[in-house]
């Protein structure tokens, strides 16, 4: 494989990773993606590779990029609002810290959801 096909393969993998996070609700509407440079550093790839992946995400409507605001998950692509995703992250963190089981936490959430 030559360097440009490696780059394209890496960009596709990054695209699929972020698309999966949006589609699964792990990234909510309005949540900001890391900068291209930060993602490149985190993933050990060139910034141009990440930029290609972000352009693909934008092309397919998963993110919106605005100068000064960065790249954010688009409202139309997100499963959940960003605030709900953040609250879920906090719940998971607190649940794990208190050694609660995932099933007990989910049961409590379902019970509260049914009451409201």
CA distance 27 to 19: 9
Determine the pLDDT at residue 2.
Answer: 47
What would be the CATH architecture of the domain defined by 3-73? Orthogonal Bundle (1.10)
pLDDT, one tens digit for every residue, the chain (116 residues): 444 667 788 999 999 999 999 988 899 999 999 999 999 999 999 999 999 999 999 999 999 999 888 999 999 998 888 889 889 989 999 999 999 999 999 999 999 999 98
Strands (E), 5-69: 63-66
Strands (E), 50-104: 63-66, 70-73
Taking the alpha carbons of 24, 56, 46, 32 in that order, is the dihedral positive or negative?
negative
Residues facing 66 on adjacent strands: 70
Determine the pLDDT at residue 38.
Answer: 96
CATH 1.10.10.10 in the chain: give the residue spans.
3-73
- pTM of the full structure: 0.73
């Amino acid at each position: 494989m030559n360097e440009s096909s490696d780059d394209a393969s890496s960009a596709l993998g990054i695209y699929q990773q972020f698309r999966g996070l949006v589609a699964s609700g792990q990234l909510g509407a309005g949540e900001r993606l890391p900068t291209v440079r930060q993602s490149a550093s985190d993933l050990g790839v060139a910034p141009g590779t990440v930029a290609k992946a972000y352009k693909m995400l934008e092309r397919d409507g998963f993110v919106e990029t605005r100068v000064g605001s960065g790249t954010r998950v688009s409202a139309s692509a997100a499963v959940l609002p960003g605030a709900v995703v953040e609250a879920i992250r906090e719940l998971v963190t607190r649940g794990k810290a208190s050694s609660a089981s995932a099933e007990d936490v989910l049961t409590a959430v379902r019970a509260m959801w049914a009451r409201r």
